[in-house]
């Protein structure tokens, strides 16, 4: 049987390893629209390298995009970052669709 102290020591080692790994894989990102602003991860929040879109980011967002059938990037997935200022510009220019506005206009989608 494993002692509680041994389990806690092993768990701490795994957590330390994961944190070190995250420092190298999950780093600040540059906005893919303006290519200038930096979107930074909020250090207090642990972000899993394969679930970066679920993490907390300052001054923007990181999202996973996956291309479907019909694209030359079919089944490829990427993480992209967009800063808050660019999202505002995209919304105002009509290039980004505000889902809240669509829901107000058409109601919620349900089958």
As given in the structure block, the two tokens for residue 94 are 């009509």
pLDDT reading at 61 higher than 90: yes
Instruction: Domain of residue 48: give its range.
Output: 27-106
Q: Is residue 98 part of a domain?
A: yes
Q: Is residue 94 part of a domain?
A: yes
**Are 37 and 85 within 8 A, CB to CB?**
yes
pLDDT reading at 100 higher than 70: yes
DSSP for 3-36 reads -HHHHHHHHHHHHHHHHHHHHHHS--EE-TTTS-
pLDDT reading at 8 higher than 70: yes
Q: Is residue 7 part of a domain?
A: no
pLDDT tens for 19-46 read 777 777 788 899 999 999 999 888 666 7
Q: Is residue 56 part of a domain?
A: yes
Q: Find where tokens 């701490």 sit.
A: 12
Q: Is residue 82 part of a domain?
A: yes
Give the total number of structural domains in the chain.
1
pLDDT-derived band at 110, boundaries 50, 70, 90? low
More confidently predicted of 89 and 99: 89
pLDDT tens for 69-93 read 999 999 999 999 999 999 999 999 9
Q: Is residue 13 part of a domain?
A: no
Q: Is residue 100 part of a domain?
A: yes
Q: Find where tokens 């220019």 sit.
A: 93
Mean pLDDT of 48-64: 87
pLDDT reading at 111 higher than 80: no
């Amino acid at each position: 049987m494993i002692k509680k102290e041994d389990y806690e020591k092993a768990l701490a080692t795994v957590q330390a390893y994961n944190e070190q790994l995250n420092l190298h894989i999950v780093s600040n990102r540059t906005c893919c629209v303006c290519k200038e602003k930096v979107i930074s991860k909020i250090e207090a929040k642990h972000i899993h390298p394969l679930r970066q879109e679920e993490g907390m980011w300052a001054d923007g967002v990181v999202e996973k995009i996956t291309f479907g059938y019909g694209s030359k990037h079919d089944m490829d997935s990427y993480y992209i970052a967009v800063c808050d200022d660019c999202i505002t510009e995209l919304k105002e220019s009509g290039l980004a669709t505000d889902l809240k506005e669509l829901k107000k206009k058409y109601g919620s989608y349900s089958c």
